[in-house]
Amino acid sequence: MWIDQRGSEILDRPECLRLLAAAAKEDRVGRLAVNGASSPLVVPLNFVCHDGRVFVRIGPGRLAELMPGSLVAFEVDRVEADREVAWSVLVRGLASTAVPGDGPIPDPWVPEPGHIVLFIRPDVISGRRFRLVTGISGVEAGAPNIAPV
């Protein structure tokens, strides 16, 4: 295990992939970031994982125009209050249009999710785990704070 300069546990690739897959199975929402024409676009999306790749399903529009063939980032995180731990995983890689047989089709929460399925190749995966701390001054009462593991 590697600890960064702030004391955060740096997660290795297998652990990042495990957490990513677990979050997908728990129907968590991740955030997809892609470069727009004049500014970054960040969108919350449901997702599934298959062979380390992140699959998303979207409808026509700006995201569908920007994503295929672009380098994108996808982030998912979770606070495990019962264990007093929080973690975050970031996947960066090339987004491509999926064809039948590439992997599972996500089932988004939105009423009309669209029929465009894309996947993100996991070129770079990074993650951190933090211990939750309460009672640090200057932070809203009752809100957990994230502290190094």
List the domain range (segments joined by +) for residue 54: 13-124
Q: How many structural domains does the chain have?
A: 1
Percentage of the chain surpassing pLDDT 90?
62
Give the residue, 77 or 81, on which the prediction is more confident.
77
By the 8 A CB rule, do 116 and 59 touch?
yes
Residue 7 lies in a domain: no
Place of tokens 């992939």: 17
pTM of the prediction?
Answer: 0.85
CATH number at residue 101: 2.30.110.10
Q: 122 pairs with which residues across the strands?
A: none
Q: Are 76 and 56 in contact (CB under 8 A)?
A: no
pLDDT digits (tens, 9 = 90+) for 49-74: 999 999 999 999 999 999 999 999 99
Q: How confident is the model at residue 19 (pLDDT cuts 50, 70, 90)?
A: very high
- Does 1 map to a domain? no
CB neighbour burial string for 10-35, b if at least 16 within 10 angstroms, e if fewer: ebeeebbbebbeebbeeeeebebebe
Q: Is residue 5 part of a domain?
A: no
